[in-house]
Amino acid sequence: MSTTADPLATLGTLPGVSDSVDSVRKAVDRVYGHRVMRRRSNEVTSEAALRGARGSAALSGADWALEEVRRRTDFSGGDGDGEAPTVGAALRLTAEAGQLLSIWRQSPLRVLARLHLVAAADREDAVGRPRTPGEPVDEPLIELPLPDADEVAGRLEGLSQLVIAGSSAPALVSAAVVHGELLALRPFGSHNGLVARAAERVVLVGSGLDPKSICPAEVGHAELGRAAYVAALEGYVSGTPEGVAAWIAHCGKAVELGVRESTAVCEALQRGAA
């Protein structure tokens, strides 16, 4: 496939990106080679899902302790806790993402609509469709200029065609671009950050890089912090080779930190402490 037909592959040649790709691949291989993964991988997957949801919610303003997320059963926010619905949405998205892997390559826009529907289930606004002209966006932590609805529609269609066509680009590059585009566009009226991070998970798992979903990039994004997250996103939105490469590297570091988290889970399971 030529670079003209495969623009994602071109991004893989940006300075520093191949180093990030190699580093992520080695980290993922190490955790998959852990002896606990041979016998208790389902437990690691479940714990990674919980920790990933907590990390994604933290980036959307609901920074709860892991044990609080584990303990709670009511995320309606009916007790006046305005952060609870965000945590609930993150948990629902993490559970739903694994059910959509087979659909992603054929109909990514359908998957994105479903993810938003799941995330915004507790809201009365329009859900499951891109925003219309003049429709407001509730995404207070991302303050970049907001593309208009026509630009959103065009770029979503372009992203969809890239996914459907397939790419020889490394999984990290594809996941970072999907994540970055959705954050840049904020195509829905709410929950765009949660949806973007869930879509990144879908790509990382569906690509075969992390087939058991044990490397929660959301954990890493949260650990790196909101300021670094937004700064890296600004680089992506700039469209410069340096900015895009920095965003991909940021996403790579997030995956590596997710790997570190799951490695710690494996060690705890091995010691009988979890």
Give me 207's structure tokens.
Answer: 């690509």
Q: Is the pLDDT of residue 80 over 80?
A: no
Mean pLDDT check: name the lowest of 15-29, 78-92, 148-162, 167-181: 78-92
Whole-prediction pTM value?
0.94
- Summarize pLDDT for 252-267 with one digit per residue, the tens: 999 999 999 999 999 9
- Summarize pLDDT for 109-144 with one digit per residue, the tens: 999 999 999 999 866 657 788 999 999 898 878 889
Q: Is the pLDDT of residue 272 over 90?
A: no
Supply the pLDDT for residue 78: 65
Share of the chain above pLDDT 70, in %: 95
Residue 231's contacts (CB-CB under 8 Å, 6 or more residues apart) are none
Q: Is the pLDDT of residue 198 over 60?
A: yes
Mean pLDDT across the chain, nearest whole number? 93
Supply the pLDDT for residue 160: 97
- Summarize pLDDT for 26-50 with one digit per residue, the tens: 999 999 999 999 999 999 999 999 9
Euclidean distance between CA atoms 137 and 139, whole angstroms: 6
Q: Is the pLDDT of residue 1 over 90?
A: no
Euclidean distance between CA atoms 49 and 66, whole angstroms: 12
Euclidean distance between CA atoms 64 and 141, whole angstroms: 17
Euclidean distance between CA atoms 38 and 149, whole angstroms: 48
